[in-house]
A = this chain, B = another copy of it.
Amino acid sequence: MDIREKTISSEQVYDGRIIKLNVDRVICPNGREATREIVRHPGGVAVVPVDKDGYVYMVRQYRVPYDTIMLEVPAGKLDKGEEIEAAAARELREETGLTAKNMVFMGNFYPSVGFCDENLRMYLATDLSQGETDPDDDEFLNIEKLHIDRLVDMIMNNEIKDGKTIAAILKAKILLGR
C-alpha cells in the first residue's frame, strides 16, 4: 500500500522568533482528509566535545517548557544562511569556549517527526583547545565535564532525558569504541 499523504492546503497560523506553525490539510491513502499541525524550525547542531581522556564538556541550562535545569550536549540553532559545520564550530565555541581540530558528522536527529520539521546535525568533536565562552544574550548556562561512561550510565538510569543528548552520547560512545 502507498502510505504517502498529499498536502492540499497549508495555512500559517504563527510566525515567531524561532518557530512558525502551519496547519495543513492532507489527503490520506484511503482518500479521506485530515489535519496536520506542523512546527517549522530553522534546524540546528549538537556537538559532543570529548577530550583525550574520554571526558565530555556538557552544559546545564534552564529549560522553560519543563521548568527545570537540564544536562545537555552543547547545541544551538543555525543562523540564517550559515553553513552547518561552521554552526557546529560556532555553537561549541560560544557555549564552551572550545575549538576542535577534528569534527566528525554523526548523523541527523529528527526530534518529533509527527509534527515538527526540525533537523539537528550531530557532531563528535575531538582534539580540543580551550578559549573564552561567548553565549547568546538570552542564554545562561554552566559547563560541566563528565566522563562519557558516566554519561552513558546517567542515560541508562534516566537521569538524562534530553533526546538529542541521549542520541548523540550513545552514538559517540559506539563510534569511539570502534
A residues contacting B by CB (< 8 A) are: 1, 3-5, 7, 13-14, 16-19, 21, 23-24, 26, 28-30, 32, 34-39, 41, 60-66, 69-70, 72, 106-118, 137-138, 140-142, 152, 155-158, 161-164, 166-167, 170-171, 174-175
Contact = CB atoms under 8 A, between A and B. Distances in A.
Nearest to A59: B3
B62 A3 contact: yes
Nearest to A117: B65
Contacts of A156: 107, 171, 174-175
Given A113-B65, A167-B167, A3 B142 contact: yes
A62 B4 contact: yes
Nearest to A40: B65
Q: Which secondary structure dominates chain A's binding surface?
A: mixed
A28 B29 CA distance: 47
Nearest to A158: B107
Contacts of A111: 111-112, 116, 163
Contact of A163 (B26, B69, B158, B167): B167
A61 B110 contact: no
Contact of A14 (B14, B114, B118, B174): B14
B162 A110 contact: yes
A28 B30 CA distance: 49
B63 A114 contact: yes
Given A17-B37, A156-B171, A166-B167, A70 B138 contact: no
Contacts of A17: 35, 37
Contact of A140 (B19, B28, B110, B157): B28
